[in-house]
Structure 1
Amino acid sequence: MNIFHKRQGQMDYNYPYFYTDTICDFRNLLENDQFKLIVMNSLQFLVQQKLVEIYGYVIMPNHIHLIWNMLKLNGKESPVASFTKFTAHQFRKYLITHNPHLLEHYKSKKEDRHYQFWKRDPLAIPLSTENILIQKLDYIHENPIKDRWRLCKYPEDYAWSSARFYKDGIDNFGILKHFRD
């Protein structure tokens, strides 16, 4: 695996990655639970189609972190491309119906699209050992309790994270696989 000649967000198949994707201009689009549900619906589809395995996640107000493994292409596109494309279309659809004035914030200057919700070049870091994976999982789960966010008191109390799964075995969205399984 040659990770040094790839774009930041490019991932090999059948290898776990710590993945971060951020909303353009760090806007808090994901603060609204409807947008979090769009993210979860996309992840559920990818898991149900056996395109990815997800070992951990957190959805923050302006970014997401995942620990996942790409298993195979979704037709001709990668699962991550399917994820970003689907969520962007659904974000746009929701905004047109509920907050059309907010669409202005996501207008793209690029020729190939009208809107851009996710920043270009997400971060994908290969996880070469279990210790590194656990370190990233802890980082993900501690995100909501950090001073900057204060979204909950305990990591397992945040509904948009896998922390509860690792503490109590509860997977409210049916997308998780324990990294040791």
Structure 2
Amino acid sequence: MARTHSFYDQEATYFVTMTVVYWIDVFTRKEYRNIILDSFKYCQEHKGLKIHAYVIMSNHIHMIITKDRNKNLSDILRDFKKHTAKTIVKSIEENREESRREWMLWMFQKAGQKNPKNRDFQFWQQHNQPIILDTSEKLSQRLGYIHDNPIKAGIVQDAKDYLYSSTSNYHGVKYNLLEVDVLR
């Protein structure tokens, strides 16, 4: 039976979910989604992260990932979450046009106070919920789940129309915000 909360097999393919504390809808703003995309690109280029599929929803992200040799998935995601948390919170603090700024910062601070590992705030929930995808059925099911997320949320009628997803990469659409290692 596969464990569901640790990266025990560093060579495996994983389905991962990262969720904002209290399910706050941070990623309704383009600038915060772009921080995620830029951080994905950095991790791909410099940390050995291989992203096979992803979707950025309003308050969470799903991915199918692996990594290059001599890298550790836990370390990559820890660094990703730490960097994006600091960068997004700073962007919220500096964004005078952000109508929910005071409320979001208060919520992140409240979450941080509940966690002894944090000093000032907490942006992401602690867990990544990694699920090992060790069969083609599991892989296919999770890939479909990721790409259908925006449809089920009522955002688009066709998954290819959602920009913040790898669906376009799998359908040969030329406009991709992030290159992924397509699963064959």
CA distance in 1, matches of 2:158, 2:126: 32
Matching of residues 69-84 of structure 1 within 5 Å: 69-71=66-68, 72-73=70-71, 78-84=75-81
Cα distance change on mapping 1:51 and 1:163 into 2, 3 Å: same
- For 2:90, the equivalent position in structure 1 comes to 93
Is 2:55 the counterpart of 1:49? no
Superposed displacement of residue 135, structure 1 = 1.1
CA distance in 2, matches of 1:170, 1:32: 24
Deviations 1:119-176 (A, max 9, x none): 1112110000222111111110000011xx2111100000000111111253623430
Q: Contact 2:23 / 2:59 at 8 angstroms: preserved in 1?
A: yes
- For 1:40, the equivalent position in structure 2 comes to 37
Superposed displacement of residue 12, structure 1 = 3.3
- For 1:163, the equivalent position in structure 2 comes to 167
- For 2:123, the equivalent position in structure 1 comes to 117
Structure 2 unaligned regions, length at least 5: none
CA distance in 2, matches of 1:36, 1:9: 26
Cα distance change on mapping 1:175 and 1:12 into 2, 3 Å: farther
Cα RMSD (Å): 2.0
CA distance in 1, matches of 2:8, 2:27: 24
Superposed displacement of residue 22, structure 1 = 0.6
Secondary structure of 2:171's aligned partner: helix
Equivalent residue for 1:104, pick from 103, 106, 120: 106
Number of residue pairs aligned between Structure 1 and Structure 2: 173
Structure 1 unaligned regions, length at least 5: none
CA distance in 1, matches of 2:18, 2:67: 15
- For 2:63, the equivalent position in structure 1 comes to 66
Deviates more, 1:7-16 or 1:118-127: 7-16
Deviations 1:68-116 (A, max 9, x none): 0033437xx7111111011101111101101451311101113432111
Secondary structure of 2:54's aligned partner: strand
Cα distance change on mapping 1:124 and 1:165 into 2, 3 Å: same
Secondary structure of 1:38's aligned partner: helix
CA distance in 1, matches of 2:93, 2:6: 29
Which amino acid in structure 2 is aligned with residue 128 of structure 1? D
Q: Contact 1:16 / 1:126 at 8 angstroms: preserved in 2?
A: yes
Superposed displacement of residue 11, structure 1 = 5.2
Is 2:179 the counterpart of 1:175? yes
Aligned-pair identity (%): 28
Query: How high is the TM-score relative to the length of structure 2?
Result: 0.85
